[in-house]
Structure 1
Amino acid sequence: MGGVTSSSAGGGGGGETALGDLPESCVAEVLLRLDPPEICRMARLSRTFRGAASGDGVWEAKLPRNYARLLAAAADGEAAALEAAEAIPKKEVYARLCRRNRLDGGTKEFWLDKGGGGVCMTISSRALSITGIDDRRYWNFIPNDESRFHAVAYLSQIWWFEVRGEVEFCFPEGRPLKRLGRRVYSSEHIHGWDIKPVRFQLSTSDGQQAQSKCYLTDPGVWINHHVGDFVVKSSNEPVKIQFAMVQIDCTHTKGGLCVDSVAVKPQYLAKKKASRIYFLVRSVKTVQESHSVLSIEVSTNK
């Protein structure tokens, strides 16, 4: 059996074989079986590994099939981006798509998960349809350092609670929190969520549906609430996802709640077989941070 040293230099003396002596094509075959962070670490081993780790063949295998469409979306739909996707080195395409790419006036953003190449998306509360949002007796947008969009929709009190949203996007086929903002509300503002459950709904343009319900209780604890599963059937066809959180029983008021954003994440982050919908729920029980926080998370991780 021939010996292979751990030297990163090429052309080892004394007849020994060094890492730099391995054919770049062989190294590329190894890298194809690694995830992107591992590929970047392996690139440090030798010049041969560095060359293989920059190859288009390695990185194209890590990109979603519809990466050209995603690059165009990141460029705000510019047609030139589709052509650029073929000219740009695939490693650079991957890096560009891993950045936070804003859409629709900054109310949505998407990016590739660096570890697995799946598409994630967040949707600001400003992009949601919220009943009564224009009446400051019920709702206000307030600054919040915890939000990725730097603001949340705060509900003071309302009888008819309804939050809906939708997004249409070419999702690929399945392959620590800061403190809250400075605003403080009395704990007496949190009310009505333990009387009737909130209903969560999901539907897609190709007929998939799911729904569930839960009581928004347990102050001070973040809860990923599973709403339902959906499967992306084609990377080249946009799928429209509609989602809702409602509590429209008008026998009592409810309030003391913030809506932050919606997130869509690929299934492998939850190690499940389909994309999943979750609502992330939190209420705060300390006097200094005494308002409920609800972050709607359409997600695959729990």
Structure 2
Amino acid sequence: MGSVASSAARGGGETALGDLPESCVAEVLLRLDPPEICRMARLSRTFRGAASGDGVWEAKLPSNYARLLAAGGSGGGDDDEAAAAAVAEEMPKKEVYARLCRRNRLDGGKKEFWLDKAGGGACMSISSRALSITGIDDRRYWNFIPNDESRFHTVAYLSQIWWFEVRGEVEFCFPEGTYSVFFRLHLGRPFKRFGRRVYSSEHIHGWDIKPVCFQLSTSDGQQAQSKCYLTDPGVWINHHVGDFVVKSSNDPIKIQFATVQIDCTHTKGGLCVDSVAVKPQYLTKKKLSRTYV
């Protein structure tokens, strides 16, 4: 059908797809998401040219993209931020978008941020090594163990403790929008046997007696709290901590988060703490795995 239409266009003097002005094509691409733009670029030279234009990709970038690129792409500190931002302004915006969609590491590799390829929203992952964990220095209670299911290849494993408390914070210039915070937890110690994923339930106990409390607060006064019993061993679960709103992408916001179970009438153990995730709310609309109160 396409070849017939193309032949008719050439023979009858009608306008073919490749005759469209690049500016008109760019107006169409502005209404598509990034993966669709990349697919449309394959149609013709005109579409390919329009799909590489700065105007198309700058519209998909967060307004503080230069600052984000400086934070993760230059490898420098605060003194280098202005210079890195100037470089970002000179780069093709398609390349800026591609770089921000990769892992951009912070805090010596203990934190990572990236853009969601489809929607352009900013995401962040914070390693267990960047968290403040009560008793982490005592191997009778906690150990860091290797795990290839973690973005950071290491998780904190709890054998047994009376006072369970894990806290963390991050200060970052998130683009404007609503974000959700999650703790990624796993009951049981996962490992592989003969190439198959299994887990040990040896130390799992205490989580069905009292719920775990999840807490969130921000530097501008936002707060959230929820509770949940930990069940379903052998599965990584993203436990919802709460949501917060960023109103200005130019001002850093500090978020503090925690998961605690400090009822000292019983011990608890057999838990892996992988990381904390911060994601745009539009990515978290799926049904949550737990009922929170």
Q: Which bin holds the TM-score, normalised by the shorter protein?
A: 0.7 to 0.9
Deviations 1:12-37, CA, capped at 9 Å, x for gaps: 34302111100111100000000000
Cα separation, 2, equivalents of 1:14 and 1:104 = 63
Matches of 2:264 and 2:174, distance apart in 1? 37
Q: 1:219, CA displacement in angstroms?
A: 2.7
User: Using a 3 Å threshold, how does the CA distance of structure 1 residues 70 and 175 change in structure 2: closer, same or farther?
Assistant: farther
Q: Is the 8 A contact 1:9 1:19 kept in 2?
A: no
Bigger mean CA offset, 13-22 vs 89-98: 13-22
- Give matches, 1:54-203, under 5 Å: 54-73=52-71, 78-173=81-176, 186-203=200-217
Shift of 1:197: 0.6
How many residues end up aligned between the 2 structures? 274
Structure 2 distance, partners of 1:232, 1:270, is 16
C-alpha RMSD over aligned residues:
4.9
What SS does the aligned partner of 1:25 have? helix
Deviation at residue 268 of structure 1 after TM alignment: 1.7
Contact 1:24–1:49 (CA under 8 A) maintained in structure 2 = yes
What is the CA–CA distance in structure 2 between the aligned matches of 1:243 and 1:237, rounded to whole Å? 19
Cα deviation code 1:159-185 (max 9, x no counterpart)? 000000000000001999999999987
- Residues 275, 116 of structure 1: alpha-carbon distance in 2 compared, 3 angstrom cutoff: farther
Q: CA deviation at 1:57?
A: 0.5
Q: Is the 8 A contact 1:131 1:161 kept in 2?
A: yes
CA deviation vs aligned residue, 1:164-209 (integer Å, no higher than 9, x gap)? 0000000001999999999987423100100111000000000000
Instruction: Describe the shift of the 1:21–1:252 C-alpha distance in structure 2 as closer, same or farther (beyond 3 A).
Output: same
1:217 shift after superposition: 1.5
Shift in alpha-carbon separation, 1:2–1:220, aligned structure 2, 3 A: closer
1:36 and 2:34 matched: yes
Equivalent-residue separation in structure 2 for 1:261 and 1:31 (angstroms):
36
Verify the 8 A CA contact 1:266 1:275 in the aligned structure 2. no
Check 1:118–1:151 CA distance in 2 against 1; reply closer, same or farther (3 A cut): same
Q: Is the 8 A contact 1:267 1:276 kept in 2?
A: no
- The answer to whether the 8 A contact 1:171-1:238 is kept is yes
Q: How big is each residue's C-alpha offset from its partner over 1:129-153, in whole Å with a ceiling of 9 and x where there is no partner? A: 0000001111000011111101100
Preserved contact between residue 36 and residue 114 of structure 1 (Cα < 8 Å): yes
Q: Which has the higher strand share?
A: 2
CA gap of 1:100–1:162, structure 2 versus 1, over 3 A, is: same
Q: Which has the higher contact order (CA 8 A, sep 6+)?
A: 2
Asked if the contact 1:157–1:255 (Cα under 8 Å) also holds between the matched residues in 2, the reply is: yes
Kept in 2, the 8 Å contact 1:144–1:180? The answer is no
TM-score normalised to structure 2 length: 0.84
Q: Which runs of 5+ in 2 are unaligned?
A: 72-78, 177-187
Q: For the residues of structure 1 that align with 2:229 and 2:189, how far apart are their CA atoms?
A: 33
Query: Residue by residue, what CA displacement relative to the aligned partner does 1:60-86 show, whole Å, maximum 9, x if unpaired?
Result: 00000100110110xx95432110111
Write the distance in 2 (CA, Å) between the matches of 1:221 and 1:144: 14
Q: Deviations over 1:93-144 (max 9, x none)?
A: 0011111011110000000100011111100000000000001111000011
Q: Specify whether residues 34 and 275 from structure 1 end up closer, same or farther in structure 2 by C-alpha distance, changes over 3 A only.
A: farther
Identity %: 90
Could you say what secondary structure the match of 1:83 adopts?
A: helix
Q: In the alignment, what sits opposite 1:3?
A: 3
Structure 1 contact 202–210 (Cα < 8 Å) conserved: yes
Q: Structure 1: which 5+ residue stretches go unaligned?
A: 279-302
1:228–1:276: 8 Å Cα contact kept in structure 2?
no
The structure in which a higher percent of residues are helix is 2
- Work out the CA distance in 2 between the residues paired with 1:201 and 1:275: 18
